[in-house]
Amino acid sequence: MSGGSVRPATLLAGQNVLHPHSPAEHSITVLWWVMLGGAWIGLTLVAVLLVLGWVRRNRDALPFGGGERAATRLVVGLGIVTPILVLTGLFLWSDIFVIRSTAAPARGSTALTVQVTGHQWFWEIRYPGMKAVTANELHIPVDTRVNVVGTTADVIHSLWVPELNRKIDLIPGRTNSVLLYADRVGTYPGQCAEFCGLQHAHMELLVVAEPRARFEQWLHGESGSARPGTGAEAQRGQQLFLTEGCADCHQIRGTSAQGQVGPDLTHVASRTTLAGATIPNDRTDLTAWLRDPQRAKPGNKMPELPLSSRDIAALVSYLEELK
Ligand code: CUA
pLDDT tens digits, residue range 281-296? 899 999 999 988 888 8
Ligand 1 nearest atom to the CA of residue 156, by list position: 1
Give the residue, by CA position, lying nearest to ligand 1 atom 1: 157
pLDDT at 10: 44
Q: Which strand (E) or helix (H) includes residue 192?
A: strand 186-192
For residue 8, give the nearest of 310, 297, 314 by alpha carbon: 297
pLDDT at 80: 92
Answer yes or no: is pLDDT of 36 > 60: yes
More confident residue, 117 or 67: 117
Mean of the per-residue pLDDT values of the chain: 88
Answer yes or no: is pLDDT of 75 > 50: yes
pLDDT at 69: 81
In CATH, what class is 231-319? mainly beta
Q: What is the mean pLDDT of residues 107-114?
A: 89
Calculate how far, in angstroms, residue 242's C-alpha sits from the geometric centre of ligand 1: 30
Ligand 1 nearest atom to the CA of residue 155, by list position: 1
Residue 36's alpha-carbon distances to 22, 81, 91, 152, in angstroms, are: 21, 20, 15, 34
118 vs 113: CA distance, rounded Å? 16
Q: How many residues belong to the chain?
A: 323
Residue ranges of domains in the chain: 23-102, 112-223, 231-319
pLDDT at 11: 54
Answer yes or no: is pLDDT of 100 > 70: yes
pLDDT at 147: 95
Q: Is 191 helix (H, G, I), strand (E, B) or coil?
A: strand
Calculate how far, in angstroms, residue 126's C-alpha sits from the geometric centre of ligand 1: 19
For residue 98, give the nearest of 35, 7, 10 by alpha carbon: 35
Tally of CB atoms within 10 A around 100: 11
Calculate how far, in angstroms, residue 146's C-alpha sits from the geometric centre of ligand 1: 22
Answer yes or no: is pLDDT of 38 > 80: yes
pLDDT at 133: 93
- Do β-strands 186-192 and 157-160 pair in parallel, antiparallel, or remain unpaired? antiparallel
Res. 48 pLDDT band, cuts 50 70 90: very high
- Ligand 1 in reach of 202 Cβ (< 6 A): no
pLDDT at 61: 65
Answer yes or no: is pLDDT of 8 > 80: no
- Ligand 1 in reach of 226 Cβ (< 6 A): no
pLDDT at 112: 93
Q: What is the mean pLDDT of residues 147-169?
A: 95
Tally of CB atoms within 10 A around 284: 16
Calculate how far, in angstroms, residue 204's C-alpha sits from the geometric centre of ligand 1: 9
Res. 321 pLDDT band, cuts 50 70 90: confident
Domain 112-223 has CATH 2.60.40.420: yes
State percent of the chain over pLDDT 90.
51
pLDDT at 13: 57
Answer yes or no: is pLDDT of 66 > 80: no
Calculate how far, in angstroms, residue 152's C-alpha sits from the geometric centre of ligand 1: 10
Answer yes or no: is pLDDT of 118 > 50: yes
pLDDT at 64: 64
Do 112-223 and 231-319 agree at the fold level?
Answer: yes
- Ligand 1 in reach of 205 Cβ (< 6 A): no
